[in-house]
Structure 1
């Protein structure tokens, strides 16, 4: 149990560092910042019981295709920000 708590603290620290580094990279290296955004997306998807190598957008696209309400709602929201986002993210 104690080892898992220590691992959790390291993960929290790594996440804080990654978020700060991403902010820096937005100005200095947007391509790398985008890559880090995808990694955060995959982490969030894994944390919500999705596959660790899939983005939330890709998962939402599959859910929308299967008529799941949450997928339809999320894809509609993402499409307002970035046209056809979920469709383009299929398989990522």
Structure 2
């Protein structure tokens, strides 16, 4: 019994450590995103795409797919949220959702 409780506590402690590491990575990425935006570095788009994928995973999508790609697929399935999001993204950048399919 005590062994199981100890293992469960150790596992939760490990998860909390991962949360702290992720928060630190987020702070570093946020700073680099700001620096890259100000300096015009190509790093900006790599970091932005990473945030895009994190956002997709956080909302139930795959961690290997961008929100735009998921929205494009949803639009082709006739799902309202995909149609609305793609309309906004395509207004910002022509054919954004179409070009992001499979990304």
Fold similarity call, TM over 0.5: yes
Q: Given the two structures, how large is their TM-score scaled by the length of structure 2? A: 0.83
Q: Gaps (5+ residues) in structure 1? A: none
The reply on whether 1:64 has 2:81 as its aligned counterpart is no
Q: Gaps (5+ residues) in structure 2? A: 1-11
Q: Given the two structures, how large is their TM-score scaled by the length of structure 1? A: 0.92
**Which of structures 1 and 2 has the bigger CA Rg?**
2
Report SS of the residue matched to 1:30.
coil
**Residue number in structure 1 paired with 2:102:** 91
Tell me by how many angstroms 1:76 deviates.
0.9
Distance 2:79 2:41 in 1: 33
Tell me by how many angstroms 1:20 deviates.
0.9
Q: Which has the higher contact order (CA 8 A, sep 6+)?
A: 1
- State the Cα RMSD in Å: 1.2
Distance 2:79 2:71 in 1: 9
